[in-house]
C-alpha cells in the first residue's frame, strides 16, 4: 500500500507537495519550540522509539534499526559519495553523523592506512559500529559519540576531508552556522556535504522546514569561504527513490585548501 501511495504521489507533483507539507507539520512544531534539540533527542534514542521500531530508515520492515544501516552499505548513494571523497585522496577523514559507519567501511577499503573517524549522536550505533569493525579486523576506523556542533575535541585542520550524509537536514537555524563553522575549523582540504539544497533560491541560507531542513548552501557557505570554492551539483537520477531527495538532494563540495 505504501509503495502504491508513493507511486501515485510521484505522478501528481501538486498532491505530493501538499502531502509533504502536511507530513511536516508535527515535526515542524517540534523544531519551533525546541530547536535542533528536537531532532537530536529523536536520533540519540532512535533505537528506543517504539512508534518507528517496526521499520528502518530505508522504508523497509525491520525491527533492528542499526543493523539496517549496516546492511545499507550497498545503497547507491554511498558509492557515489565515497567516490567523491576518494578523488581528494585523503589521509584522514571525519564523518559527522556516521551511525554504525557503512560509509566509513567503504572508505577504509579504499584507504586502509588513512585515519578514519566517525561521530554520531546515538551511543548504541557507535558501540555497534566499533564492534562491527573489530569483528572484521578493520583497525583504522574509530567511532565516537558526539554532535555536529561540538567538534572542539579535535585539533584544528586535523582532517583532510570532513563530510556529512543526510545529517544537516536535521539541524535547524539555531545550530547550522555553528556546525558549519566547526567543520571548517577541523578540515584541512575539503568539506563534502550530501544534503538538501534549495535550488530555487526561496528558502534562505538558514533554511525552511520541508519534512527536513532545506537551505541555500551557496549563500550559507559563502559566509565562510569565497564562492568560487563552492561547488553544488544535483544528485544523479537513481540514487534515491524518495521524491524529496530527487527534488532537493545535492552534493556540496567546498575546497578549503587547494594543493599546488
Q: What torsion, rounded to 10 degrees, do the Cα atoms 241, 243, 246, 247 define? A: 180
* Residue position matching grid coordinates 505522478: 11
Q: How confident is the model at residue 6 (pLDDT cuts 50, 70, 90)?
A: very low
**Which bin fits 144, alpha (ψ -120 to 50), beta or left (φ > 0)?**
beta
Residue 201's pLDDT is what?
80
**pLDDT exceeds cutoff 90 at 209:** no
Residue 21's pLDDT is what?
46
- Least trusted range by pLDDT, from 63-72, 184-193, 230-239: 63-72
Q: Give the mean pLDDT of the chain.
A: 85
Phi, psi (5° rounding) for residue 251? -105, 115
Per DSSP, 253 falls in state: E
Q: What percent of the chain has pLDDT over 70?
A: 78
Note whether 80 and 236 are within 8 A (CB).
yes
Residue 41's pLDDT is what?
78
* Residue position matching grid coordinates 521500531: 53
Domain extents for the chain? 2-255
**pLDDT exceeds cutoff 60 at 205:** yes
Strands 208-210 and 212-214: antiparallel
- Least trusted range by pLDDT, from 49-63, 116-130, 207-221: 49-63
Residue 257's pLDDT is what?
75
Fold of 2-255: Rossmann fold (3.40.50)
Residue 230's pLDDT is what?
97
Query: How far, in Å, CA of 210 to CA of 31, rounded?
Result: 12
Report how far apart the first and last C-alpha atoms of the chain are (Å, whole number). Answer: 55
Q: How confident is the model at residue 4 (pLDDT cuts 50, 70, 90)?
A: low
Query: How far, in Å, CA of 258 to CA of 187, rounded?
Result: 12
Q: How confident is the model at residue 102 (pLDDT cuts 50, 70, 90)?
A: very high
Note whether 242 and 210 are within 8 A (CB).
no
Q: How confident is the model at residue 258 (pLDDT cuts 50, 70, 90)?
A: low
Half-sphere exposure (Cβ direction) of 1: Cα atoms closer than 13 Å: 0
Amino acid at each position: 500500500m505504501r509503495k502504491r501511495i508513493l507511486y501515485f504521489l510521484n505522478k501528481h507533483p501538486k498532491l505530493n507537495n501538499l502531502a509533504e507539507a502536511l507530513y511536516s507539520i508535527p515535526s515542524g512544531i517540534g523544531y519551533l519550540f525546541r530547536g535542533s534539540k528536537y531532532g537530536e533527542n529523536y536520533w540519540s534514542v532512535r533505537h528506543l522509539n517504539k512508534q518507528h521500531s517496526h521499520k528502518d530508515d530505508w522504508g523497509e520492515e525491520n525491527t533492528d534499526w542499526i543493523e539496517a544501516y549496516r546492511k545499507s552499505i550497498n545503497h547507491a548513494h554511498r558509492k557515489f559519495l565515497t567516490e567523491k571523497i576518494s578523488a581528494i585522496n585523503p589521509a584522514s577523514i571525519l564523518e559527522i553523523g556516521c551511525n554504525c559507519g557503512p560509509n566509513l567501511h567503504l572508505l577504509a577499503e579504499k584507504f586502509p592506512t588513512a585515519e578514519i573517524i566517525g561521530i554520531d549522536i546515538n551511543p548504541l550505533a557507535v558501540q555497534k559500529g566499533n564492534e562491527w569493525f573489530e569483528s572484521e579486523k578493520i583497525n583504522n576506523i574509530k567511532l565516537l559519540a558526539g554532535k555536529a556542533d561540538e567538534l572542539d575535541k579535535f585539533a584544528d585542520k586535523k582532517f583532510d576531508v570532513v563530510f556529512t550524509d543526510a545529517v544537516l537536514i536535521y539541524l535547524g537555524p539555531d545550530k547550522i552556522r555553528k556546525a558549519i563553522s566547526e567543520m571548517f575549523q577541523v578540515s584541512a582540504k575539503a568539506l563534502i556535504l550530501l544534503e538538501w539544497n534549495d535550488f530555487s533560491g526561496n528558502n534562505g541560507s538558514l533554511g525552511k522546514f520541508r519534512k527536513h531542513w532545506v537551505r541555500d548552501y551557496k549563500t550559507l557557505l559563502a559566509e565562510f569561504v569565497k564562492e568560487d570554492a563552492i561547488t553544488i551539483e544535483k544528485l544523479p537520477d537513481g540514487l534515491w527513490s524518495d521524491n524529496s531527495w530527487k527534488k532537493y538532494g545535492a552534493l556540496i563540495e567546498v575546497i578549503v585548501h587547494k594543493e599546488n
